[in-house]
Structure 1
Amino acid sequence: MSRILPFAAALAAGGALFFGLMPSFAAETAVNAPRPTLIEPVSGHRETAIFAGGCFWGVQGVFSHVKGVMSATSGYAGGKGSTAQYEDVSTGTTGHAESVKVVFDPARVNYADLLRIYFSVVADPTRLNAQGPDHGPQYRSALFPQSPAQAKVAETYIAQLTAAHVYPRPIVTRIETARGFFPAESYHQDFMAKNPDYPYIVINDRPKVEALKRLFPMSWKA
């Protein structure tokens, strides 16, 4: 389901507002996921992680407010570079998921911390190929570990959440082999920060940022 574009189309904004107000399309409910039992050892001052959790506007918006995150970039992961364009990815046939590359300082926030935030406020890990009002494999919940250590932490944490019955339904978040990350078009970058009153943002993404601030005040940065 396309969320915009072009900007000037008031109908698109109205459509986003309409769908966002429908109860079945409400923003994901935040949960306070437990602390991960396995934490990746700190090595170096810069690390990269890639998360897919529905529309990348909100994913980027949340991680941009986490202390220790140096940058968050919207893009595409899971498919080939030749199809890493919004129009192609939106068809749901490219293998790509809308994703966000997070560059962070592991001495300030580790990968396990980011996973906890992801599973608490970014995505509903129990929805298959859908998040918020958006449907299709391009909106799937997926992790793209950038190292064997990250993969181990992710696998262990999903098992931990499953054993603790944190969610009422099974977790369907996929752990996928990284095949490259391709930055999205410039108009998608920092969309939430640049368009805080856009109807889709207000209904689907702003609640996620508010949940981050409420549940993880020590991790919050303005």
Structure 2
Amino acid sequence: MPIRPVPLAIMVAAGIAGTALTLTLPRSESAQAAALPAPPPEAVKPTGRQVAVLAGGCFWGMEGVFEHVRGVVSVTSGYAGGDRAKANYDAVSSETTGHAEAVRIVYDPAKVTYGQLLQVYFGVAHDPTQVNGQYPDRGPSYRSAIFPQNDAQRQLAAAYIAALGKAHSFDKPIATKIENGTFFPAESWHQDFMRRNPGNGYIQRWDAPKVAALKTRFPQFYVG
């Protein structure tokens, strides 16, 4: 079974039993702004459950963050941007398949908008200034990418990226790309990984601080 690489210092600090850590992301690692502009309004508000597909590093953390967003019905970890035949962890980890680790978010647009999901995505779920990687994970499968599910999402995502750039919301250029690609669910052992393994060293070091940041920076979106 493939194992997510964890820095040796983190494994030592966490201990064999996976003792919880209390580390937070330093500014040099997060590169996140203190505030983000509001997302552009949606021209036509959709009705019924909608789907968003977002990639931003390890899908464990992305999934864990969006599971705590009000109006989100479900989150599934998986792969987007490559073909079905190679949409598995072993192949994607080779960094040759074109996939990105991504999450499929089913949400209720009456409770949370696509723009608000993007606000969380850029604000706390990952660092959109990192190119082909997030924190200790390097390679194009960990890239920052948005996979719009319709033209309205594509236009809104492009407009919001432009607004973030105009507002100088980050101290580095935004690396996030808008891409095409089908989403394929990941293996079952990846699903709900943060919820099922809260004491995991990788989760505590890199992902738990994102959930804490969601609660602090976007309390209007947070649900326990």
Unaligned runs of 5+ in 2: 14-22
Partner residue in 2 for 1:188: 190
**CA–CA distance in 2 between the matches of 1:13 and 1:216?**
29
The alignment-based identity, stated in percent, is: 49
Aligned residue identity for 2:143: R
Partner residue in 1 for 2:20: none
Offset at 1:135? Answer: 0.2
Offset at 1:39? Answer: 2.6
RMSD: 2.4
Partner residue in 1 for 2:79: 76
Offset at 1:33? Answer: 1.6
Partner residue in 2 for 1:157: 160
Residues 27, 70 of structure 1: alpha-carbon distance in 2 compared, 3 angstrom cutoff: farther
Offset at 1:17? Answer: 1.6
Contact 1:48 1:101 in 2 (8 A): yes
Partner residue in 2 for 1:15: 8
Offset at 1:24? Answer: 9.1
Contact 2:31 2:129 in 1 (8 A): no
1:173 to 173, 176, 185: 176
**CA–CA distance in 2 between the matches of 1:14 and 1:204?**
11
Equivalent residues in 2 for 1:100-111, closer than 5 Å: 100-111=103-114
Partner residue in 1 for 2:216: 214
Aligned residue identity for 1:211: A
Partner residue in 2 for 1:132: 135
Offset at 1:18? Answer: 5.6
**CA–CA distance in 2 between the matches of 1:16 and 1:174?**
32
Tell me the TM-score normalised to structure 1 length. Answer: 0.89
Tell me the TM-score normalised to structure 2 length. Answer: 0.88
Deviates more, 1:24-33 or 1:202-211: 24-33
Offset at 1:44? Answer: 1.7
Contact 1:27 1:203 in 2 (8 A): no
Contact 1:53 1:122 in 2 (8 A): yes
What secondary structure does 1:217 align onto?
A: coil
Offset at 1:25? Answer: 11
For each residue in 1:22-54, what CA deviation from the matched residue of structure 2 results, as whole angstroms up to 9, or x when unmatched?
x99975354332211333522222000000000
Deviates more, 1:138-147 or 1:121-130: 121-130
1:198 to 192, 197, 200: 200
**CA–CA distance in 1 between the matches of 2:148 and 2:104?**
11
When the two structures are aligned, how many residues end up with a matched partner? Answer: 213
For each residue in 1:84-126, what CA deviation from the matched residue of structure 2 results, as whole angstroms up to 9, or x when unmatched?
0000000111000000000000110010000000000011111
Offset at 1:172? Answer: 1.0
1:148 to 148, 151, 160: 151
**CA–CA distance in 2 between the matches of 1:77 and 1:118?**
16
Aligned residue identity for 2:10: L
Residues 159, 26 of structure 1: alpha-carbon distance in 2 compared, 3 angstrom cutoff: closer
Aligned residue identity for 1:188: H
